[in-house]
Amino acid sequence: MSDKTLAKALDNAVLYNDSYFKRIGTKLKYL
């Protein structure tokens, strides 16, 4: 159970970072 929770948290962190960097990238494109 803890392994699954850890994997899910890691997936969420990756998805969050991915969308965060995509937003930063689009902002930089318009600068």
Number of domains in the chain: 1
Instruction: State which residues form the domain around 21.
Output: 1-31
Confidence bin at 2 (pLDDT 50/70/90): confident
- Per DSSP (E only), the strands in the chain are none
3 vs 1 pLDDT, higher one: 3
**Secondary structure element (H or E) that encloses residue 31, with its range:** none
pLDDT in tens, 5-31: 999 999 999 988 888 888 888 888 776
Count the Cβ atoms, other than its own, within 10 Å of residue 6: 10
Residue that is written with structure tokens 């803890």 in the block = 2
pLDDT of residue 5: 93
pLDDT exceeds cutoff 90 at 1: no
